Amino acid sequence: MARPGSVPAYHCGMTVDGVLKVRAAAAALGLVAREITPIAGDASRRSFFRVTTPKGSAIAAVYPDGAEDQVERDEGVHAWGWERGLPIPLPIGHTPLVAFAADLGDEDLEHALRTRGDGVITGALETLAAFQACPWHDLVTSAFDAAFFRRELELFEQFTSRSSGARPATTETFLNDLAGRLGAHPYRLVHRDFHVNNLFLRDGAVWAVDYQDMRGGPDTYDAASLLRERAGGELLGSDLEWRERTAARLDWAAGWEQRYFECAAQRGLKVIGTFLRLASWGRTEYLAWLPRVQALAREAVVRLGAPGALVDLLEVPPRGL
């Protein structure tokens, strides 16, 4: 979610249909929708709307047709997290294709970083601590494993490949080994997309959205997202001080720095692939983050001894753009 007025062009065609779906869903749930305003979406096929009611405002997520099972799963995860006291918005209700949650306002952590300074990261660490302290074994989403991590790298390979030929064996081996190492990390509950645009400052605390994919995963995974992706990677400069403070706050076991860079490498490559796929769909606004993500991913894989063939793929801009 983002601030009103920043609705990307790819959502404009969905707006009228989305408003109608939100209004019908609100009525089915007994909500009086006085005003429905589109807001910017995320890196998914959902569209989002702010709904003003007599009792306040809510955020409605509209899923594409045929996604009824996804809505049920996502709302099951939402309810699970809320019942355990995680810092996520109150679930209000859902219909087969529209889910409503409490409105956290407009100040995401990117905006807070730019206007208040990097001290707001301290609040984000408290939010991350709440996730890491929560037992995760009964969560319906399956925990990360090596195969899962490896599959996530396929988009990177697809959109950065020099040709349709076979990938260098050294790159294949490195990516396979990286996925295997991540699967052996100490696990905690991870949000899975813990970057500054999914964190909102409200009432002196930091709250998380886009939580539907939370699952068991590596202890340093979310911190790598927070400190190295999007405006976090841009505005914090070096993450050295903050990653050390994070490790102390979250009581990570010895060896955390190596694990952190392994997560940073895998996550960075995954994000690059995701951004390039979105650009291929016409959602080019994500390309603004690409140079910094690539630079940080390159730093991480070089630190891990990646083969030159992989490092070369992390040029800015990627081939074909």
For 156-168, write each residue's pLDDT tens digit: 999 887 544 557 8
CA–CA dist 156, 304 (Å, integer): 18
pLDDT at 9 over 90: no
pLDDT tens digit sequence for 267-317:
999 999 999 999 998 889 889 889 999 999 999 999 999 999 999 989 766
Cβ neighbors of 40 (< 8 A, separation 6 or more) are: 1, 2, 3, 6, 7, 8, 11, 48
pLDDT at 12 over 70: no
Backbone angles phi, psi at 212, to 5 degrees: -70, -15
Average pLDDT, integer, range 16-39: 94
Q: Specify the DSSP element, H or E, that contains 150.
A: helix 146-152
Superfamily of chain region 9-102: Phosphorylase Kinase; domain 1 (3.30.200.20)
Average pLDDT, integer, range 175-194: 98
Identify the CATH class of 109-313. Answer: alpha beta
Of 298, 217, 310, which is closest to residue 264 (Cα–Cα)? 298
Q: Specify the DSSP element, H or E, that contains 295.
A: helix 290-303
Q: Which of 4-13, 124-133, 177-186, 284-293 has the lowest mean pLDDT?
A: 4-13
List every span in the chain annotated with CATH 3.90.1200.10. Answer: 109-313
pLDDT at 304: 98
Q: How confident is the model at residue 231 (pLDDT cuts 50, 70, 90)?
A: confident
pLDDT at 78 over 80: yes
Q: Write down the pTM of the prediction.
A: 0.90
Q: What is the DSSP string of 171-206?
A: HHHHHHHHHHHHHTS-EEEE-S--SGGGEEEETTEE
List every span in the chain annotated with CATH 3.30.200.20. Answer: 9-102
Average pLDDT, integer, range 102-123: 93
Q: How confident is the model at residue 320 (pLDDT cuts 50, 70, 90)?
A: low
pLDDT at 188: 98
Is residue 146 a contact partner of residue 233, using CB atoms and an 8 Å limit? Answer: no
Q: How confident is the model at residue 232 (pLDDT cuts 50, 70, 90)?
A: confident
